[in-house]
A and B are shown apart, each in its own frame.
Chain A
Amino acid sequence: MSIRYILPFIMCTYITAHAQIDESLLKTIPKDTVKQAMNMDAIYNRPFVSVGKLPVSVGGYMEANWQHLGTDGISEGHQFQFRRMTLFVASTISKRIKFLSEIEFEDGAKEIAIEFAALDVELHPLLNLRGGMIMNPIGAFNQNHDGPKWEFTDRPIAMTQMLPATWSNAGFGLYGKYYNKDWMFGYEAYLSGGFDNSIINNEENKTFLPAAKNNSERFEESASGEPLFTGKVALRNNKIGELGLSYMGGVYNKYQDDGIRLDEKRSVNIWAIDFNTTLPVLNTFITTEWAWIKVNVPETYSQQYGNKQQGGFMDIVQPILKRNILGWKKATLNIACRLEYVDWNVGKFKETGGNIAEDLWSIMPAISFRPTSETVLRLNYRYQKQKDLLGNPPSVTSGLSFGISTYF
């Protein structure tokens, strides 16, 4: 037997042997992902598995779905989609130094991205330094977007098609939390790389902040050469809920190159407010978020690219059954509904004074089943109306989707 056969045999035997003998070394650290401390904690509030005495723990989640949607009588038919698989690797380097990374494979690895890879150094509970690939904490969804936490296959439109979802950049900043009985206060403040001209020059034909996500150059060169500031403060009362206020802003355009001035500095400013609560007695969970965007668009450019946007969503989740179902203890059956609205172009036409439309509203009732808190099966029905820039009769989209999502 040649060495090229022996070596893999030995390796397989070794791995198999360890798998058989050392199962107990895999320590699952489950998290109840339905209830968490604050949105800013979401990044660590995930189930991880640690292996023996290795200093790393790993985890991840996946999302897949079937959908059948139609718009104005035209449907693309049955669509089976593997939306994403995300891997987490976390390591406690020392008592107060931690590292966590999140690598996402979207649409069957069509897109692979490091969403988060940052080192956290605790100087004081109220003063932690974070650096690396950070997730800009604008709104709550960007902080807390893991698929298994939601009762809906689709992410909120305003938080993905107006704000950039999972918007991360190379940067540094500070965060901290303060507890007092039922009260919690948290803050985050970062300076990072940011947007570029594509937010007003893209194939969506509208001001579209997520277009900047396509620019992978931003991880080594900031288009404007100016830092993007992102800050968030959040206040939580365990009996009332959590309220977050966030801001992100900076110069987005490449206004100079090689020391030569090309344009004036143009800024983008984003404000967001988020709130979540669980109603007593009924245990109804409500989470909502609204954002406003203001972009300095040149007066002589096209109003096709708006200088103001706004939108948000509200999810209402009502557990209707929480018991042993099909052998799963503490399984939960929920009914839920998402309400959404986005206006990508708030303003009036210079030519007529009439309203610029480019807006959308959607309602999405849902049924979700959680055999455990970390796995969700969800059936959604979307009904959506979207108007074009001119405000012509809206296109109507509706249809069903069924999806699964789980941490692993």
Chain B
Amino acid sequence: MSRSCLPISAALLVSAVAVGDEVVPPEVISKVAAVPPVGAPPALHEHVVLELTITDDGVVHDVVVIESAGEAWDQAAVTALKQWRFKPALHQGKTVASRTQLTFNVAAPPPTPDAGLAAQPDGGELLEAPDAGQAPAPERQPPEYTTRVLGRAEPKSTAPSDFHIEVGDLRIVPRKTSTEFLKLAPGILITNEGGEGHPDQIFLRGFDAREGQDIELTAEGMPINESGNLHGNGYADLHFIIPELIENLRVVEGPFDPAQGNYAVAGSADFELGLQQKGLTAKAAAGTFDTQRLVLLWGPPGESSRSFAGVQLYRTGGFGQNRDAQYAALMGQYELPLSQSATAYIGVNGYAAKYHSAGVLRADDVEAGRVGFYDTYDNRLGGDTLRASIYGAIHHHGGPFVQQHQVFLTVRNARLTDNFTGFLLDVQGQLQNPHDQRGDALDRNSLAITVGAKGFGRYRARVLDHNHELTLGYFGRFDLAEGTQQRLIAGTNTPYRRDVDLDSKLTDVGLYANADIHPFDWLTLRGGVRADLFTFNVHDNCAVQDVRRPSSQNPPGDQSCISQMDLGKYREPDERVSALGSSIMPRGTLLLGPFAGVTLSGAAGQGVRSIDPQYVSQNIETPFASIFAWEGGAQWAHRWQSLDASARAVVFGTRVDKDLVFSEQAGRNIIGGATRRLGGLVAARARGGFFDLSLNGTYVHSAFEDTGFVVPYVPDLVLRADGAVFHALPWRLFAHDLRAQLGVGYTFVGRRALPYGQRSDVISVLDANVELTWRWLTLGVSCTNLLNTRYRLGEYNYASDFHTSGAFPTLVPQRHFSAGPPRQLLFSLAVNLGGQS
């Protein structure tokens, strides 16, 4: 059978862009001629319309047929196109992946410049016509098509430590939770004494943000912090995010961007969601501690990475005692191009978890052999979580205007039982019937419904031959939060006391203006102001818990919420308080350069953390924790062909007037005094054709302003390294490449300051993961804590009494710790179907 050439011409048509602006479309660098199908029926049309993704390094992916000329003709066109190479599209001067449609003309007429070759006049290969009787193609023009930039516009840097991090190949580095991706940014330590289902505790640049109280956390722009949560105002549980669906991170380490809102004290972090892998991916993993994980992912071919669906099921027996956990997460998002100038996306997610936690142990009990290093005092500790959210956004640009609007709705319930002090706090009250210490176990439950919207409008003008922008943005959220906190009798789950019972209605309305001015090529000024108004309406269902002179005839006894005043005069046990407060926060950034790839920058700004509803008083201007932060630094970036390198060095300082400090008696962070921080960081990343390496280190001195004493528990030195190497192996299996990937992550945390002049142990943990991919099959083995280091993840000094050492209570401070996980192996198998069209 003779093979003849197919008269295929391709037209790469670029007439507009759908997202963002300043887009330079991709250009063809090299083409491969298509081979016409032999013996195929005549083409149905004169052209095959294909849609493809051109990656940011110019490679063709994810080709789908939009308009078919017949299966054989289509396949011939697709086969050829996959071998083409492109110069990638540019967005705001940077290479980006793009989604483009391309026409292969099947009929004899050669393409003409006005036949849609707007940006690439020589887009196809003109070949001979086939012999077999092909009907003359009717005269018609190929349709106009668009190039659509995939992903998101790169955010503009608002500070020297504004990190926009593409996870990329560092995805191979073992990370058990989505929170651990934050370690790609400098100065972040993740710990967790509450178990695998419990939200991670985040330390950022000298702040103990606990479960997010000092970091504004968002996923795809949707707020995660929970206002009014009793475990901490701003509590954030990131476990609902399936790690495979994290595409990029934006971490701003300080309040420097006017778009940052409540809780952006230490900074903010946005998880940009996406799935590069197309088709259906099923991944199963099993390993030590009876751990199993099953993930199903769907990346619809032909859609952007922002369209995906994912399900994750996870269970573990946990290491040591009482660390079992089970959870399930579901996420879906679809990005819909509405027109050449508008796109929209809608997303949903759901999450449910049940877990136990080991809590803390006293070091003296471990040293005396009374408990083991990985044991627990109380097997009731743990919690459960439910979450459901829906969100959507629309993005539109037209001429100099860009606008985006987003709405979100989240329903969440979180229950958590913990006990940091054992049997210490249940002191005998006069009103109470005589009792022994019944135990300090706290049972907290918070239900929150959050609804809100955010958005911005941006106007661009060109003045004096430079682009300038003005952005006006808004943010609004309403929270309906219910929270109860009870104390449980040891050995049972019977509540004996109600500490807190609040129903809160909270609003936060924010407006901001942000200017981006470029007076000269080497000078950029960014900044503006943000104003937030907070309202609080708090119904305290247990407002009175003591009475000085109770009724002798009707004593309140063991009631927690008392309905009498002195001498038995009746009152309702509840009370409502409302308050309002506002804050105006200027923020600004100055950038000089780049000079030989180096950009110098400085930033300053104010941030705010709203008051916990537990502290709200009637008509009192609600006190805010406000922060002032400044920093200066230098950033360098360079690209040599396939090697991308960047580095930065930053010095920073912060002052917070009401910092949060951990209280073991409250089992959470409570408001402390004013603190200052002074520190520096370095970060670097290098990416090449076979490796990706990220290094960062941060040192910060955190001290109380009045005494100069060091702030306890926060790390001053944090080092982190993430590395990945990947390459095809020299062997082939059934004529297909074998590709190997190795990822390594290393964390070092210096001795943390503890109360009473103590220092913790260092943390030094190495994780590794290796994967082998053959066609659609990937085998992997992941190992966390590779060296099986026995270490203390969290350490504390305070008084507790767990009834472990004799009849007399222990009332003076002692060292406590939560154990870091030992070595864990996880073997995985992943199958991808339909990943390449």
Q: Bound pair: A and B?
A: no
Chain A residues in the interface with B (C-beta under 8 A): none
Chain B residues in the interface with A (C-beta under 8 A): none
